[in-house]
């Protein structure tokens, strides 16, 4: 997948951008994000499918017995019952995407460029931590402290994602016998 992003998707987006009159880097954040998004879709969909199929059959049968249609059963019974697991699968997919450093380094470059433009080269926080900590630095060195600050910000983002997921799970959790 890494070579596919670096050798196929990046140059394709660059050529597409040039034909539209846009300046697009072959190592753009758009290429890396697109490939990463496509890469985690099977992971999330497989976990979500397992969660949806694990909803007890008696809930579906009870909904049908009350006169609900198939779409009403899906919207009002199956999805609410499976929502905590679906949120969990999305959280696992996002966590996997955050941890996948290599594909983003190969597809988006290693330029320390803070930009909101997805057409430019960029880097990941994890890759910057590795680049900063290569070599011998003292703990009081500003580079070392910057690496620890980047690690702390990555931890905070992951913590916030976990808190949001837990609040959604607690709000919609239903217990069955």
Share of the chain above pLDDT 90, in %: 19
Greater model confidence, 67 or 8: 67
The tens digit of pLDDT for each residue in 119-163 reads: 777 777 777 777 777 777 777 788 888 888 888 888 888 788 778
Q: What is the pTM of this model?
A: 0.63
Distance CA 162, CA 92 (A): 10
Distance CA 147, CA 175 (A): 43
Element (H, E) at 78: none
Distance CA 132, CA 150 (A): 10
Share of the chain above pLDDT 70, in %: 85
Q: How many CB atoms lie within 10 A of CB 37?
A: 11
The tens digit of pLDDT for each residue in 98-123 reads: 766 666 666 666 666 677 777 777 77
Cβ atoms of residues 56 and 174 within 8 Å = no
**For residue 72, what are the CA distances in angstroms to 54, 56, 82?**
18, 16, 15
Distance CA 167, CA 156 (A): 16
The CATH number of domain 2-172, selected from 1.10.530.10, 3.40.710.10, 1.10.150.20, 1.10.3720.10: 1.10.3720.10
Could you tell me which of 74, 87, 46, 68 has the C-alpha nearest to residue 173? 87
Lowest mean pLDDT among 26-35, 45-54, 106-115, 121-130: 106-115
* Chain centroid offset of residue 5 CA: 16
pLDDT at 133: 77
């Amino acid at each position: 997948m890494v070579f596919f992003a670096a050798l196929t998707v990046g140059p394709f987006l660059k050529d597409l951008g040039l034909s539209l009159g846009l300046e697009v880097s072959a190592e753009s954040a758009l290429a890396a994000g697109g490939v990463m998004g496509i890469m985690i879709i099977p992971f999330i969909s497989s976990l979500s499918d397992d969660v949806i199929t694990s909803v007890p059959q008696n809930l579906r049968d009870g909904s049908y017995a009350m006169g609900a249609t198939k779409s009403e059963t899906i919207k009002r019974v199956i999805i609410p019952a499976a929502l905590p697991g679906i949120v969990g699968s999305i959280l696992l997919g996002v966590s996997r995407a955050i941890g996948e450093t290599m594909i983003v380094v190969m597809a988006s470059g290693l330029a320390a460029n803070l930009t909101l433009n997805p057409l430019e080269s960029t880097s990941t926080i994890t890759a910057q931590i590795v680049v900063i900590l290569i070599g011998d630095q003292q703990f009081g060195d500003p580079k070392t402290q910057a690496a620890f600050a980047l690690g702390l910000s990555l931890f905070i983002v992951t913590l916030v994602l976990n808190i949001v997921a837990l609040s959604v799970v607690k709000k919609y959790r239903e217990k069955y016998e």
